[in-house]
Amino acid sequence: MQNAGIIEKEHFTKEDLLILLSLQGEDLQMLYDKALAVKAQYVGRKVYFRGLIEYSNLCSKNCYYCGIRCRNKKYARYTLTDEEVIEAALYAHRNRFASIVIQSGEQTGNKFTDAIERLLKEISRLTNKELHITLSLGEQSEETYRRWLEAGAQRYLLRIEVSNPGLYKKLHPGDNHHLYSERLGKLHILRKTGYMVGTGVMIGLPFQTTGDLADDLVFFRDFDVDMVGMGPYIEHEDTPLYEYRDQLLPLEDRLELSLKMVAILRIMMKDINIAATTAMQTIDPHGRERALLAGANVMMPNLTPLKYKQEYLLYKNKPGTQDDAEKTKAVMEQNILAAGDEIGYGEWGDPRHFKKRNAGM
């Protein structure tokens, strides 16, 4: 079979990627099966938890797709207290999650950068450096990135959002606060600073073509990324992009495209970490499971205190906003076991790709 032949190739060209992204039926199932076999062989059928702490929904940016953009006045803005962050981190530690992610809308200024530094030091001290900490706090100066690394962070997530600069321009205000070149530059700085670096994209955006998605996969490979978090775009009524909702693929198709992206990427970059993202679960109650079966190996249980969860809505119908940490953990455990995977309790689950690069292998 011609398509099956492509799946076995060592290196996918852009033409191969376009064919793989369009697979259906039995051929598509073969793609998922191959991705799962690669996952089993190179990273194992083990899923690592990263306890997600949504530190603040204040954001200085105004991305056209995002519900917490600064121009959206409908949400009450919050910032967790140090005690709330630490409590969530200790919950993760007690429950042997081994990693947390601190995420926030993009903020700069000393008050913010100092608070993060203080929290990193405090969490490292209280947990005896047993937690690995991922930051997802947007574009910052090189000095800030370095300070945070020295204070105890190891990984950084900064989604490129879309790798096509022309498309990036359409999805962001045309000011010098939303520049593609800056964002890309920050990814290189993060790499140079010594972080394990993660990036990602949204899938099924207005104006986005299958060619753009193929280019996103090539972008991940060329950047030699350690971790990827990507998922379907979900429209939000309080954003400018909502106007284009009629042009979107049906939600299930956006999910399927996202699962294809995960599967192809797993085959291309065998030993990186790939997340089963919340946006996938928003579309299908089995979305995360399906992602694990397509090659994902990381999940991010949301540990944000319940009273704030409703305020961190990047998109509508985000699942789990009524669930406390215990319930969230129980649901995710079920998802993982249903997919036939194990949970990597007490293990950092650092991307093997990063370790290999640093060992010069």
List residues binding ligand 5AD (CB under 6 A). 65-66, 159, 161, 202, 233-234, 236, 279, 314-315
CB nearer to ligand 5AD: give 12 or 64: 64
Q: Nearest to residue 50, comparing CAs of 357, 351, 352?
A: 351
Q: What is the nearest approach in angstroms of ligand SF4 to the Cβ of residue 47?
A: 25
Q: Nearest to residue 131, comparing CAs of 303, 12, 330?
A: 303
* Interaction between residue 69 and ligand SF4 (CB under 6 A): yes
Alpha helices in the chain (DSSP H): 2-7, 14-21, 25-42, 82-94, 110-126, 142-151, 165-170, 180-193, 210-223, 251-268, 278-283, 287-293, 306-309, 325-338, 352-358
Binding site partner of 159, from ligand SF4, ligand 5AD, none, Cβ cut-off 5-8 A by kind: ligand 5AD
CB nearer to ligand 5AD: give 67 or 344: 67
Q: What is the nearest approach in angstroms of ligand SF4 to the Cβ of residue 295?
A: 25
Q: What is the nearest approach in angstroms of ligand 5AD to the Cβ of residue 37?
A: 29
What length does the chain have?
361
CB nearer to ligand 5AD: give 3 or 72: 72
Residue whose token pair is 């694990």: 292
CB nearer to ligand SF4: give 105 or 152: 105
CB nearer to ligand SF4: give 64 or 195: 64
* Interaction between residue 198 and ligand SF4 (CB under 6 A): no
Q: Which of 106, 117, 215, 256 binds ligand SF4 (CB under 6 A)?
A: 106
* Interaction between residue 135 and ligand SF4 (CB under 6 A): no
CA-based Rg of the chain, rounded to a whole angstrom?
19
CA–CA dist 34, 55 (Å, integer): 38
CA–CA dist 100, 79 (Å, integer): 17
Task: Give residues 305-324 in contact with ligand SF4 (rule: CB under 6 A).
Answer: 314
Q: What is the nearest approach in angstroms of ligand SF4 to the Cβ of residue 59?
A: 3
200 contacts 259 by C-beta, under 8 angstroms: no
275 contacts 300 by C-beta, under 8 angstroms: yes
Q: What is the nearest approach in angstroms of ligand SF4 to the Cβ of residue 75?
A: 11
* Interaction between residue 68 and ligand SF4 (CB under 6 A): yes
Read off φ and ψ for residue 299, nearest 5 degrees: -135, 150
Q: Which of 23, 38, 59, 214 binds ligand SF4 (CB under 6 A)?
A: 59
CB nearer to ligand 5AD: give 32 or 233: 233
Q: How many CB atoms lie within 10 A of CB 281?
A: 24
Which of the stretches 55-63, 109-117, 187-195, 347-355 binds ligand SF4 when contact is defined by CB under 6 A?
Answer: 55-63
Binding site partner of 283, from ligand 5AD, ligand SF4, none, Cβ cut-off 5-8 A by kind: none
Calculate the CA 45 to chain-centre distance: 19
Q: How many CB atoms lie within 10 A of CB 316?
A: 13
Binding site partner of 202, from ligand 5AD, ligand SF4, none, Cβ cut-off 5-8 A by kind: ligand 5AD
Read off φ and ψ for residue 19, nearest 5 degrees: -65, -45
- Which residues would be at the binding site for ligand SF4 (CB under 6 A)? 59, 61, 63, 66, 68-69, 105-106, 138, 314
